[in-house]
Amino acid sequence: MTNARVNIDPQFVVGAINRRLFGSFIEHMGRAVYTGIYEPGHPTADDEGFRRDVIDLVRELGVSAIRYPGGNFVSGFQWKDGIGPREQRPRRLNLAWRSIETNQVGLHEFASWTEKVGSELMYAVNLGTADTADALEVLEYANIEKGSTVSEQRIANGRTDAFGIRMWYLGNEMDGPWQLGHSPADDYAKKASRTAKALRQLDPEVELVASGSSHPTMATFPEWDRTVLEYTYDDVDYISCHGYYEEKAGDLGSFLACGVKMDRYLDTVIATADYVKALKRSDKTLNISFDEWNVWYLGDNLRSFPRQADRFYRTDEIEGNDWPETPRLAEDVYSVADAVVVGGLLISLLRHADRVTSASMSMLVNVIAPITTEPGGAAWRQTTFYPFALTSALAHGVALDVRVESDHYETDEHGSVALVDAVATHDADAGRSAVFLVNRSQSDDITVTIDLAALGTTTVLDAQTMADDDISARNTREDPDRVRPSRNPSASTAGSVLTITLPAVSWTAVSLG
Ligand code: AHR
């Protein structure tokens, strides 16, 4: 057993926590939409064909906003395919995921679903095979109340009120050779700049995200981001980040610390954005939309797609030249260790709350997701569901810049790393605070002390810990509740000092009132 100390002062504010930090992502990929959120004929299906069991779980997860409809899919998507009478909608080839897109769920249906789950709809436009005119038309369709041919078409299709979508993504991962319409940075940047200007001219209220690098390991990172921002800085509100993490060749130590990798990635993108700010003598500070993040096992047993020689995606059903409908793609089953890492990644995002004002866990249902469904059957929570749900429920107000005193350990990927990582949040109006902690030690419980005096409370409302003797334990159809967090009985206060013991390889949320 070793010890650590977390120092908290509510005066040391990182920034206000934007609720969009607890966003997610639904792409037309695999079973995210079909048999994920939408399955007419399922015993729980509502009158629009949406699974009520999934709606309940998404609400419980506390998802603030959802990015849609892609991802790689959007770069070949013709948005008009998804409007109008369903029986007339085309069956298209989904080139990104080598499958058939039936278009039974489109903008109207997805908007209705986001209202049911209580989330904001955030929309990505196709800047791969499409251009500014197409983006303008979907914005007009979605956000102009009435009086133009395009807005009247929405009304004729059954939606009187405008959708009022605020957040718009200018393409997706345009730096990636796998992307339809992939182009050199300045080609994309010019297209993004003129599209952004046009969208804002149509609707000044929109918030716009330029497509940053798809991963910090890309050879073009961070030069891609610098170039894109040199063209678009005045036109957009965000630059995007994407990051997927996995345990490599049994290197659990590095995996548990991949929050460090996320921190360094964010620090580089922030520095790049601020460099462009300085170049432009601008008063405007650009924010980050971390619009895809999660654990994703891209490593073993994967087959490549024809256009994706250097990027691999898990596919259990795709063979040869088949174009299946609703294949099982990237249905990762997450362990306790994965949940601890997800909790750690949320700590990193909160630590950057001043600049990361939108983030989307990728994805939400079935595809690299915290919720899994069986067609015609049950829906259940993966291990990663819990750190997200608890953080979303407890992290309100502002994120605090805490100081952690802890032993370190050596990692192959990130060098020397603290065994304990933590962040705190403070909501002065509600008189509530929370502390989120990970113990990355693979062998030792760690007892942490936190002086709560500055927070003005000594009341521990709850302390929930995610840990297990078997860190590879998972939730499955047969055993959907095998892993869940439990109350940490060690949490106690003496005077103003909170003491809590964190088991080896664990994530903990302490709620203070
Ligand atoms: O989230 C799955 C895919 O990962 C997305 O389509 C793409 O943007 C990323 O590479």
- pLDDT per residue as tens digits for the range 344-358: 999 999 999 999 999
Q: Which atom of ligand 1 is nearest to the CA of 292?
A: 1
* pLDDT at residue 128, as a whole number: 98
Number of alpha helices (DSSP H) and beta strands (DSSP E) in the chain:
10, 28
Span 304-320, mean pLDDT?
45
The single residue of 27, 173, 207, 247 carrying the catalytic annotation is 173
Q: Lowest mean pLDDT: which of 294-298, 397-401, 407-411?
A: 294-298
**Is there an atom of ligand 1 within 6 Å of 24 CB?**
no
Question: Considering only CA atoms, which of 290, 283, 473, 480 is closest in space to residue 379?
Answer: 480
Q: Lowest mean pLDDT: which of 119-123, 321-325, 498-502?
A: 321-325
Burial 328-364 (b: 16+ CB within 10 A, else e): bbbbbebbbbbbbbbbbbbbbbbbbbbbbbbbbbbbb
The reported pTM is 0.96
Q: Is 230 labeled as catalytic in the residue annotation? A: no
Alpha helices for 334-466 (secondary structure H): 336-351, 385-394
Q: Is 223 labeled as catalytic in the residue annotation? A: no
Q: How far is CA 101 from CA 67, 91, 124, 363, 364, in A?
A: 18, 6, 17, 18, 19
Instruction: List, in sequence order, every residue forming a beta bridge with 424; answer none if it has no partner.
Output: 400, 435
Question: For the purposes of burial, counting CB atoms within 10 Å of the CB of 147, is it exposed (0-12), middle (13-18) or buried (19 or more)?
Answer: exposed
Span 2-13, mean pLDDT?
95
Span 83-102, mean pLDDT?
94
Q: What is the 31 CA–ligand 1 centroid distance (Å)?
A: 14
Kindly indicate the confidence band of residue 318, based on its pLDDT and cuts at 50, 70 and 90.
low
Q: Which atom of ligand 1 is nearest to the CA of 311?
A: 10
Q: What is the 190 CA–ligand 1 centroid distance (Å)?
A: 23
**Is there an atom of ligand 1 within 6 Å of 173 CB?**
yes
* pLDDT at residue 308, as a whole number: 42
Read off the DSSP letter of residue 87.
G
Span 430-438, mean pLDDT?
97
Q: Which atom of ligand 1 is nearest to the CA of 214?
A: 10
Question: Considering only CA atoms, which of 265, 502, 507 is closest in space to residue 407?
Answer: 502
Q: What is the 170 CA–ligand 1 centroid distance (Å)?
A: 15
* pLDDT at residue 306, as a whole number: 37
Span 246-256, mean pLDDT?
93
Q: What is the 293 CA–ligand 1 centroid distance (Å)?
A: 10
**Is there an atom of ligand 1 within 6 Å of 362 CB?**
yes
Q: Whose CA is nearest to atom 5 of ligand 1?
A: 71
For residue 167, pLDDT beyond 70 = yes
Structure tokens at 408: 């370190």
Q: Whose CA is nearest to atom 9 of ligand 1?
A: 71
Span 317-339, mean pLDDT?
83
Q: Provide the 10 A C-beta neighbour count for residue 231.
A: 21
Calpha distance 94→180 (Å, rounded): 11
Q: Whose CA is nearest to atom 2 of ligand 1?
A: 71
Calpha distance 25→290 (Å, rounded): 11
Q: How far is CA 354 from CA 2, 15, 349, in A?
A: 32, 4, 10
The single residue of 101, 140, 247, 292 carrying the catalytic annotation is 292
Domains of the chain (ranges plus CATH)?
Answer: 18-394 (3.20.20.80), 399-512 (2.60.40.1180)
**Is there an atom of ligand 1 within 6 Å of 291 CB?**
no
Calpha distance 125→135 (Å, rounded): 6
**Is there an atom of ligand 1 within 6 Å of 30 CB?**
no
**Is there an atom of ligand 1 within 6 Å of 171 CB?**
no
Q: What is the 406 CA–ligand 1 centroid distance (Å)?
A: 36
**Is there an atom of ligand 1 within 6 Å of 254 CB?**
no
Q: What is the 72 CA–ligand 1 centroid distance (Å)?
A: 6
* pLDDT at residue 321, as a whole number: 56
Q: What is the 227 CA–ligand 1 centroid distance (Å)?
A: 22
Backbone angles phi and psi of 76, in degrees to 5: -125, 5
Span 205-211, mean pLDDT?
98
Q: Whose CA is nearest to atom 3 of ligand 1?
A: 71
Percent of the chain predicted with pLDDT > 90 = 91
Mutate to test the pocket of ligand 1, among 31, 72, 296 (most ligand atoms within 8 A of CB): 72
Instruction: List, in sequence order, every residue forming a beta bridge with 201; answer none if it has no partner.
Output: none
For residue 69, pLDDT beyond 60 = yes
Structure tokens at 331: 């249905």
For residue 199, pLDDT beyond 50 = yes
Q: Lowest mean pLDDT: which of 251-255, 309-313, 440-444?
A: 309-313
Q: Which atom of ligand 1 is nearest to the CA of 176?
A: 10
Span 247-272, mean pLDDT?
96
End-to-end CA distance of the chain: 29
Q: How far is CA 155 from CA 66, 104, 142, 144, 281, in A?
A: 23, 19, 10, 11, 44
Question: Considering only CA atoms, which of 109, 96, 169 is closest in space to residue 139?
Answer: 169
**Is there an atom of ligand 1 within 6 Å of 292 CB?**
yes
266-271 long-range Cβ contacts below 8 angstroms, 24+ apart: 266/241, 266/290, 266/348, 266/352, 266/355, 266/356, 268/216, 268/221, 268/222, 269/212, 269/222, 269/225, 269/239, 269/241, 270/352, 270/355
Instruction: List, in sequence order, every residue forming a beta bridge with 410; answer none if it has no partner.
Output: 416
State the chain's mean pLDDT as an integer.
Answer: 94
Span 205-216, mean pLDDT?
96
Kindly indicate the confidence band of residue 249, based on its pLDDT and cuts at 50, 70 and 90.
confident
H-run or E-run covering 169 = strand 167-170
CA gyration radius for the chain? 23
What is the total residue count of the chain?
513
Structure tokens at 39: 């399955």
Q: Provide the 10 A C-beta neighbour count for residue 271.
A: 11
Kindly indicate the confidence band of residue 298, based on its pLDDT and cuts at 50, 70 and 90.
confident
For residue 311, pLDDT beyond 70 = no
Strands 287-295 and 238-245, bridge-based pairing: parallel
Question: Alpha-carbon torsion 472, 477, 482, 484, what sign?
Answer: positive
**Is there an atom of ligand 1 within 6 Å of 72 CB?**
yes
H-run or E-run covering 132 = helix 132-143
**Is there an atom of ligand 1 within 6 Å of 172 CB?**
yes
Mutate to test the pocket of ligand 1, among 215, 240, 242 (most ligand atoms within 8 A of CB): 242
Calpha distance 19→512 (Å, rounded): 20
Q: How far is CA 335 from CA 247, 339, 386, 462, 475, in A?
A: 11, 6, 12, 24, 8
